[in-house]
Amino acid sequence: MWDYTKEVKDHFLNPRNVGEIEKPDGIGEVGSMACGDALRLTFKLDKEGRIGEVKFKTFGCASAIASSSALTEIVKGMTLEEAEKVTNKDIAEYLGGLPEAKMHCSVMGREALQAAIRNYRGVGSDKKKIIDGKIVCQCFGVTEHEIKKAIKDNHLATVEEVTNYTKAGGGCGNCHDDIRTLIKEVFLEAQQEEANFEKPTQYDILTNIQKIDRVSHLLNDMIRPTLQRDGGDLELIDLDNNVVFIKLKGACSGCIGAASTMKDFIEHKLKDDVSPKLRVKEVN
Ligand code: FES
């Protein structure tokens, strides 16, 4: 038997927001009955452009139902920009954790949400997950891009772990060699990134005051206006040895997507525009 947390049991036995919204703004569908898991997510925006109503229908196991229920609770009240930053880790954490072999249920929730947002935005006008790249696992229709993303995001090192997070490899096993190759590729890419990190850059020869100036400009001109549009903000607290200490404010402070905002948005932009060596750290 699976060792489920009390939160998983609660969301499985008393799922929130079950059903389907009539005339929704966005619909997302992932999985298939044949593969054992399927999820249909619908949402409607309120007058402020936030997710006012969100419902799901899931065919699957207890963790698939609990993950879908948790996802709807997490994104309710969020803007689409906030919602698309929700990760499968956020869903698993909300539930107090999921068994390793059931992590793919949280990934399915994130994919359904992204498909629904794309559907709302009319990207490809398709409510189903976009097949992004070559399919590696024919049994479960999992692509190279999805497998590499899962390996990177969750530091996976074995075929078994990849199966737990994506279902790839959980059928006939014909794709196991390809999955091993992808694990190696991600490892080599990470090593290359590390090597680039060691190379001196223009930024390294600046004085500390010049460095702070460059970082402040980017934060004030490019990042704060985006956060402020959603009622959030930030404050630069310090810069020490390539670590940028930032305090999130307003709607960003305490937001479920705060970790992703720091890593995927702020740090990403600082690395691209100022120096690849910069890291961000949140200060409370
Ligand atoms: S092709 Fe991946 S398990 Fe069958």
Q: What is the pLDDT along the chain (284 residues), one digit of tens a residue?
A: 678 899 999 999 999 999 999 999 999 988 765 666 788 999 999 998 899 999 999 888 889 999 999 999 999 999 888 898 888 888 999 999 988 888 888 888 888 898 898 888 775 445 555 555 788 988 778 889 889 988 988 889 999 999 988 888 887 888 999 999 999 999 999 888 777 777 777 888 888 889 999 999 999 998 999 888 878 899 999 998 889 999 988 888 767 667 777 887 899 889 888 888 888 988 87
DSSP letter string, the chain: -----HHHHHHHHS-SSBS--SS-SEEEEEEEGGGTEEEEEEEEE-TTSBEEEEEEEEES-HHHHHHHHHHHHHHTT-BHHHHTT--HHHHHHHTT---GGGHHHHHHHHHHHHHHHHHHHTSTT--BPP--S-EEETTTTEEHHHHHHHHHHHT--SHHHHHHHH-TTSSS-TTHHHHHHHHHHHHHHHHHHHHHHHS--GGGGS-HHHHHHHHHHHIIIIIHHHHHHTTEEEEEEEEETTEEEEEEEETTTT-TTHHHIIIIIIIHHHHHHT-TT-EEEE--
pLDDT of residue 25: 92
Using the atom order of ligand 1, give the atom closest to the CA of residue 168: 2
Q: Pick the residue whose CA is nearest to atom 4 on ligand 1.
A: 172
pLDDT of residue 105: 84
* Distance from Cα 143 to the centre of ligand 1, integer Å: 11
* Distance from Cα 191 to the centre of ligand 1, integer Å: 28
Using the atom order of ligand 1, give the atom closest to the CA of residue 139: 4
**Known catalytic membership, residue 105:** yes
**Known catalytic membership, residue 137:** no
User: Which listed residue (105, 175, 252, 255) is catalytic?
Assistant: 105
